Amino acid sequence: MPNSKIDELLVASIGGGGLSQEQMVQILSFRLFGNKLGFLRLENMPIGNVPLTPASRNTLNKPDDVSEKCLLQATAILGEPIGYAQESNGSIINNFFPHQSLSRATTSDSYDTELDLHTENAFHAIQPDFLILLCLRQDPLAEAVTYVTSIDAILDHLSSEDISFFFTEPYNFLSDYCFSEKNCRIDIGKKQTVFYGDVRTPLFRFDPHFMVARSHLAQAQLQRLREIAWEVKHSVTLQAGDLLIIDNRKTAHARSQFTALFDGSDRWIPPGVRLVVASADLSKR
């Protein structure tokens, strides 16, 4: 969907996205107060008529915009939707489904490989505050699992020395964005700590495959943190109509491998949207 249509859809979605009063309250409460899980899952959302899962983003053939409006109504409560030039040509609404040529790629277009825990775009000057996924179709064998691990759960397993280590030790976060596409590994000099913000309620950025430690100790601590993060993760099996909102400032997420059949029945997670909170001061990012 071209971004030129987003404003029009956003206006239409505010009063007509299909969210109930109760669901709007849940989303607003999550934005304001969060929760220990770091994510909110809402079920049975309106998704309209869903055609066969396409093989390419050029052949989406969606007959209506019910799911887009539902998603945009939720985004309006959370913040400002953003896109990145390197992903789906900068599209604000992204469609994720298996691509045969990318079966083992480390992107959301893969299926035959696990995507390891990562905070979305942890290297980026404008890191999204929230991610929203709306599931249009579960994978045919119901194997795909989304994992979310939260700093609030991780902290229970760390000493005060560990916490202050991750507040002060800089890691070099590599960029996986090239100029116009993904899957690069570029040193952009982005040295930053894993924990940041208020020491009483830390925020968290974590992408071990794209973080370079400056010492053996820092590497060992990173590995230990990864093990703890996996230990305390929560598993979510998304079904059609499930809306998953992830607080990207307090979590890392991952996805299991799953089977793709390429017969129109494959997993389809559109639209995925990244958001920055409306009140955020971008000059500080």
Interacting residue ranges for Fe ion, rule: CB under 5 A: 120
CB of 105 within 8 A of CB of 98?
Answer: no
Query: Is 205 strand, coil or helix?
Result: coil
Segments in the chain forming alpha helices (H):
6-16, 21-33, 66-78, 151-154, 160-168, 216-231
When the beta carbons of 116 and 169 are compared against Fe ion, the nearer one is 116
First-to-last C-alpha distance (Å) of the chain: 28
Task: Kindly state the smallest distance separating residue 104's Cβ from Fe ion, in Å.
Answer: 16
Task: Kindly state the smallest distance separating residue 216's Cβ from Fe ion, in Å.
Answer: 29
Task: Kindly state the smallest distance separating residue 118's Cβ from Fe ion, in Å.
Answer: 6
CA distance 63 to 46: 14
Distances (CA, A) of 37 to 72, 155, 252: 23, 12, 11
When the beta carbons of 68 and 120 are compared against Fe ion, the nearer one is 120
Task: Kindly state the smallest distance separating residue 164's Cβ from Fe ion, in Å.
Answer: 28
Query: Is 123 strand, coil or helix?
Result: coil
Task: Kindly state the smallest distance separating residue 120's Cβ from Fe ion, in Å.
Answer: 5
Query: Is 253 strand, coil or helix?
Result: strand
The residue nearest Fe ion at its CB is 120
When the beta carbons of 30 and 206 are compared against Fe ion, the nearer one is 206
When the beta carbons of 9 and 40 are compared against Fe ion, the nearer one is 40
When the beta carbons of 73 and 146 are compared against Fe ion, the nearer one is 146
